């Protein structure tokens, strides 16, 4: 009989024999240098090099794909004014007039992101704060991958280069402000470290430092974007059940602890939602999903390899593939793909990422067909799982067929693939016996390649000035309205658009937030969560003949009607004339000519439509 010392031990993959992450003066200096380089590069690429440029958002929300930026600004504005506090009811006092803007009906997981950015906005303004938050997200992504690589024992030079490649991924610039919380992906490399510890049975004891670190990280991840939380927990559970067949239940129980920590973070961020539903009942109409979108916005492997249309060298490939990046076919802009998913395209791995993918594929094939057959690298299994789950017709689509359609844009999981590939390459490059100077030079070249290949053309002063004209037009337009009305006056918005995710022809889902962003005390009818019966009056009021509709608004106490001309086929001329011919001649128009506001006569004793039960 074999003794315990003679029993065959479980093989553990070889680890990188280099220095590991330790918080000391040298590491602080390296991280400081990484942060400095990332900040300088981001400011140069976005053109945010002057105080005036910082007051112009990198996206304003009027150019098609970036339309959701207005929704992000509104969240920041609400937080700035104290209406958006984590875990507390989100009753936005200046929206949803004559009552309030209820933002409690759907989960808003990333509440701290909006809250912190809103706090910054108190000092620098909403748009500068949004710029700063996006920049900080990318800088933290650089640091996140650097720290993850160092925790895995990789050389700091390669970790540095990988950090830049991850923080300046095409994904970040494609998402930017309009997908505010999606751009905040900085913690994903740490999630991969935890998943690896679980898979390799290196988590340690349940009271050990690694497991405590994993618990705290899991809790924080639970309060972040649910897409990322979902994939993190999938990788952890896959690793745990792999170890179950080798070690028993201990890894599985540890993984349940991490799932519980994330679930607790998720539930904590939704206390207000559950409480509001308890008082007012469920609102199934607030957030709607269709299986169609799960396929349209699913991940396609080829998207990982296609550069964007504005690439300085390879843009022709992107143009041939995406065309004008629209969803409908246009003979004037032929393209290879009918449905490019979410636009602008964000899945491009970059030349470094593609090289890492090829390297991983070669290693995997050699292990499969070699004489001494070995297991596939962990990274290969992780990439294969993400593709199987996220691809068109994959497991996420299968869940959608069965009725679970929450994660409609699985293309977003591509941001897990890039750090998996980078960490795979960094680990192996760190094994090379190159001297420090050679390693530093090669890593520096990788930094330059990443910044050249993965980032969009630098914004010019002309582009920023064009955006500034639109922002200033909205600001001056709102200032004129506010200066002509008493404090807390109510403004109705046309065309009627439901909130959220309910665009109207010519008007994006959140375009009506424009005057709210620039005002200080006006109240707006737009911005209350759709699906509640007490909002039906907004849809019904202009189904009446025009004079009766205006008189109804006056009886409710509204003092003005804000009109977005883009929401009308005739540019709003008919309704402009109707107001003027009815004697409402006090009208303010924006400098850009796309907005106007008509002042009406609010009743001194308003009779409000049926409202929510408090």
Q: Where are the domains of the chain?
A: 291-416, 463-599
* Beta bridge partner(s), residue 596: 563, 589
pLDDT tens digit string along 256-268? Answer: 999 999 999 999 9
What is the secondary structure of 55-124 as a DSSP string? TS-S--S-SSTTTTHHHHHHHHHHHHTT---TTS--EETTBSTTS-EE--SS----HHHHHHHHHHHHHH
Q: What is the C-alpha separation between 504 and 496, in angstroms, rounded?
A: 8
Q: How far apart (Å, rounded) are the C-alpha atoms in residues 89 and 338?
A: 42
Q: What is the pLDDT of residue 20?
A: 62
**pTM exceeding the 0.75 threshold for the entire prediction:** yes
Contact 63, 343 (CB under 8 A): no
Residue 35 confidence (pLDDT): 98
Q: Are 490 and 602 in contact (CB under 8 A)?
A: yes
Paired residues of 391 in beta bridges: 299
Between CA 508 and CA 67 the distance in angstroms is 6
- 348-372 pLDDT per residue, tens: 999 999 999 999 999 999 998 876 7
pLDDT of residue 324: 60
Tell me, what's the pLDDT at 404?
A: 85
Nearest residue to 450 via CA among 18, 34, 27 = 34
Sheet containing 595-599: order of strands: 523-524, 490-494, 558-564, 595-599, 587-589
- Which residue stretches of the chain have pLDDT < 50? 1-18, 325-333
Q: How far apart are CA 189 and CA 141, in angstroms?
A: 8
List the beta bridge partners of residue 491: 524, 560
Q: How far apart are the first and last CA of the chain?
A: 75
DSSP structure class, residue 515 = H
Q: Residue 109 has what pLDDT?
A: 87
pLDDT of 338 reads: 65
- Backbone φ and ψ for 548, nearest 5 degrees, come out as -65, -35
Please name the residue ranges forming H helices in 323-460.
350-369, 378-390, 395-401, 414-429, 436-454
């Amino acid at each position: 009989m074999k003794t315990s010392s003679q029993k065959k031990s479980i093989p553990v993959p070889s680890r990188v024999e280099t220095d590991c992450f330790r918080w000391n003066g040298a590491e602080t200096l390296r991280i400081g240098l990484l942060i400095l380089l990332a900040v300088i590069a981001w400011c140069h690429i976005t053109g945010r090099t002057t105080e005036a440029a910082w007051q112009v958002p990198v996206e304003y929300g009027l150019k098609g794909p970036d339309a959701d930026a207005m929704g992000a600004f509104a969240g920041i504005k609400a937080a700035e004014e104290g209406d958006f506090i984590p875990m507390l009811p989100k009753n936005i006092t200046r929206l949803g007039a004559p009552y309030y803007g209820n933002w409690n009906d759907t989960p808003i997981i990333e509440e701290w992101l909006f809250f912190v950015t809103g706090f910054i906005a108190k000092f620098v303004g909403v748009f500068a704060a949004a710029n700063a938050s996006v920049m900080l997200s990318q800088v933290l992504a650089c640091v996140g991958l650097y720290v993850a690589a160092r925790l895995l024992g990789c050389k700091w030079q390669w970790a540095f280069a990988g950090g830049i490649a991850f923080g300046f991924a095409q994904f970040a610039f494609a998402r930017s402000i309009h997908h505010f919380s999606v751009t905040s992906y900085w913690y994903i490399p740490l999630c991969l470290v935890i998943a690896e510890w679980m898979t390799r049975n290196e988590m340690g004891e349940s009271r050990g430092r690694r497991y405590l670190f994993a618990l705290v990280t899991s809790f924080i991840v639970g309060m972040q974007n649910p897409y990322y939380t979902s994939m993190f927990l999938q990788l952890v559970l896959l690793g745990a059940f792999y170890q179950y067949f080798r070690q028993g239940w201990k890894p599985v129980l540890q993984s349940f602890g991490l799932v519980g920590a994330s679930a607790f973070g998720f539930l904590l961020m939704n206390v207000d939602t559950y409480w509001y539903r308890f008082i007012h009942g469920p609102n199934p109409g607030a957030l709607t999903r269709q299986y169609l979108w799960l396929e349209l916005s699913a991940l396609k492997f080829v998207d990982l390899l296609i550069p964007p249309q504005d690439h300085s060298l390879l843009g022709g490939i992107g143009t041939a593939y995406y065309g004008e990046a629209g969803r409908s076919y246009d003979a004037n802009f032929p393209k290879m793909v009918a449905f490019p998913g979410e636009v602008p395209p964000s899945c491009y791995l970059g030349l470094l990422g593609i090289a890492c993918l090829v390297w991983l594929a070669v290693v995997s094939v050699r292990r499969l067909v070699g004489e001494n057959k070995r297991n596939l690298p962990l990274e290969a299994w992780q990439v294969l799982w993400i593709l199987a789950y996220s691809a068109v017709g994959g497991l996420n689509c299968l869940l959608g067929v069965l009725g679970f359609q929450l994660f409609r844009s699985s293309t977003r999981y591509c941001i897990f693939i890039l750090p998996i590939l980078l960490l795979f390459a960094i680990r192996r490059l760190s094994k090379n016996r190159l001297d420090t100077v050679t390693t530093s030079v090669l890593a520096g070249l990788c930094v330059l390649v990443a910044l050249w290949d993965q980032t969009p053309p630098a914004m010019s002063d002309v582009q920023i000035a064009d955006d500034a004209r639109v922002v200033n037009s909205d600001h001056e337009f709102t200032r004129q309205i506010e200066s002509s009305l008493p404090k807390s006056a109510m403004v109705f918005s046309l065309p009627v658009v439901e909130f959220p995710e309910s665009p109207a022809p010519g008007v994006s889902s959140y375009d009506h937030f424009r005057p709210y962003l620039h005002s200080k005390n006006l109240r707006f009818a737009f911005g209350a969560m759709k699906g509640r019966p007490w909002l039906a009056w907004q849809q019904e009021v202009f189904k009446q003949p025009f004079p009766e509709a205006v008189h109804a608004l006056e009886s409710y106490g509204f003092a003005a009607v804000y009109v977005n001309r883009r929401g009308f086929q005739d540019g709003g001329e008919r309704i402009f004339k109707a107001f003027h011919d009815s004697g409402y001649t006090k009208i303010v128009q924006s400098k850009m000519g796309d907005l106007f506001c008509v002042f009406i006569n609010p009743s001194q004793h308003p009779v409000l439509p049926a409202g929510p039960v408090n």
